[in-house]
Structure 1
Amino acid sequence: MSQEKAQPAPSPFERVGEKEFGYNTKQVDVFLSRARATFNGDGDDDSIVTSHMVRRTVFPAQRGGYSAREVDGALDRLEDVFAQRERDALIQSNGEDAWLQQVGRLSAILRGRLHRSPGERFRRPSRANASSYNVQDVDKLSSQLIDYFEKDVPMSVDAVRRAEFRRAEGEHGYEESQVDAFLDRVVELMASID
């Protein structure tokens, strides 16, 4: 009788080179296991994963870890699926009018900020040497979002997720945390209506 050596389970994602940094494989696997349990309806109340949680998840770096590009792509798809399921659950439990009201409220809040004057849409960092986002770059994306929301100009939610802005210093730019929080809400809205 021959003894076969147990083969390790295939990795769900490509790994980076041994000297490169990728995402911590164990933490990615644990999070995706929780997400799978939620998706299948097997998770308990303390481990339920939501679209918001997927969007906010950050993994520590690890040498030889999973490719960040591949994991991020999977998380984007997972967020979209959970956002659609959450929308469908809201409609089923409270009706389509409740969902439309929720979308309308969030859209009004976001559009209110987008319609502020260019250069004044977000606050400036309070520290002079704080890292901030280039005002013109953020305002350009803001104009594209106005076109998306009000003129039905097509725009992918991934364009917002992957938006990159040049760096600025202190009051010469917009405060990063406020811009990031705003874009999170934009992604939340776009994922629920697309």
Structure 2
Amino acid sequence: MKHQAESSGEFRRVGSREEGYSVAAVDSFFTRLADDYELMLSGAELGADVHTSRTVREAVFEPEKGGYAPDDVDAALDKVEDRFCELERHLYVQRYGQGTWDQAVQELRELLLGRLERPAGQRFRRPAKKLTKGYFTKEVDALCDRLLAHLEGADVLAPADVRSAAFSPATGDLCYEETQVDAFLDRAIEYLNDTAQ
């Protein structure tokens, strides 16, 4: 897993007047990811600060003029997240057994279904203040419908389909609260990763 070489040699730079991701921050992050991945592979005791698939998914970089092209970095992060997920699943099964893993995945599936089976327009709460912007309800519900279809075997969704989802801003009754939607989609990505072949 040559993440340092990948980050410094393969990421394009945006124009000198455009904002990309901080080069130093991205290089440092990918170097640390490579170290943490090797640490996990070694079976060593892991500290609380070791990166996981979740922290890869939540990575945010400061903007920098002439920095790395965000699309390139984001695509690489998606691949790294998938690798971490695969290793985490292997280590979990190794430690607790396949049955325990299957049970945890089933519980997550039921948690997702509990919200997805709610009527459209009622799946998430509205922002507490009327003028606070949230995600356009119909677009969120459309993705939720696809997730539900996936869980029922009628559609196929990959983790990247949810990671790349973007919603128009809206206010009042036309929107859902962003933080609740984000937290739910994070769990949906976990499930899709956990069940990926």
TM-score w.r.t. the length of structure 2 is 0.89
- The answer for the alignment partner of 1:148 in structure 2 is 150
**Mapped partners of 2:113, 2:14: distance in 1:** 40
- The answer for the alignment partner of 2:4 in structure 1 is none
> Partner amino acid for 2:150?
Y
SS of the residue corresponding to residue 133 of structure 1 reads: strand
**Based on CA coordinates, which of the two structures has the bigger radius of gyration?**
1
Query: Judging changes above 3 Å, is the alpha-carbon distance between structure 1 residues 120 and 163 closer, same or farther for their aligned structure 2 residues?
Result: same
- The answer for the alignment partner of 2:23 in structure 1 is 25
SS of the residue corresponding to residue 101 of structure 2 reads: helix
Residue 101 of structure 2 is aligned to residue 108 of structure 1:
no
Aligned residue-pair number: 186
> Partner amino acid for 1:73?
A
Identity across the alignment (%): 38
Q: 1:14 aligns with which of 12, 15, 28?
A: 12
- Alignment RMSD, CA only? 1.7
SS of the residue corresponding to residue 9 of structure 2 reads: coil
Query: Judging changes above 3 Å, is the alpha-carbon distance between structure 1 residues 26 and 150 closer, same or farther for their aligned structure 2 residues?
Result: same
- The answer for the alignment partner of 1:187 in structure 2 is 189
**Mapped partners of 2:176, 2:47: distance in 1:** 38
Query: Judging changes above 3 Å, is the alpha-carbon distance between structure 1 residues 185 and 46 closer, same or farther for their aligned structure 2 residues?
Result: closer
Q: 1:166 aligns with which of 161, 165, 168?
A: 168
> Partner amino acid for 1:29?
D
**Mapped partners of 1:18, 1:192: distance in 2:** 40
- The answer for the alignment partner of 1:122 in structure 2 is 124
Query: What's the CA shift for 1:105?
Result: 1.1
Trace 1:20-169 onto structure 2 (pairs within 5 A).
Answer: 20-41=18-39, 45=47, 47-169=49-171
TM-score w.r.t. the length of structure 1 is 0.90
SS of the residue corresponding to residue 45 of structure 1 reads: coil
**Mapped partners of 2:48, 2:114: distance in 1:** 35
Q: Deviations over 1:148-179 (max 9, x none)?
A: 01125211211111111122113321011111
5+ long unaligned stretches in structure 1: 1-8
Determine if contact 1:126/1:171 at 8 Å carries over to the other structure. Answer: no
**Mapped partners of 2:133, 2:49: distance in 1:** 35
SS of the residue corresponding to residue 22 of structure 1 reads: strand
**Mapped partners of 1:193, 1:139: distance in 2:** 22
Which aligned segments of 4 or more residues in structure 1 are displaced greater than 6 angstroms? none
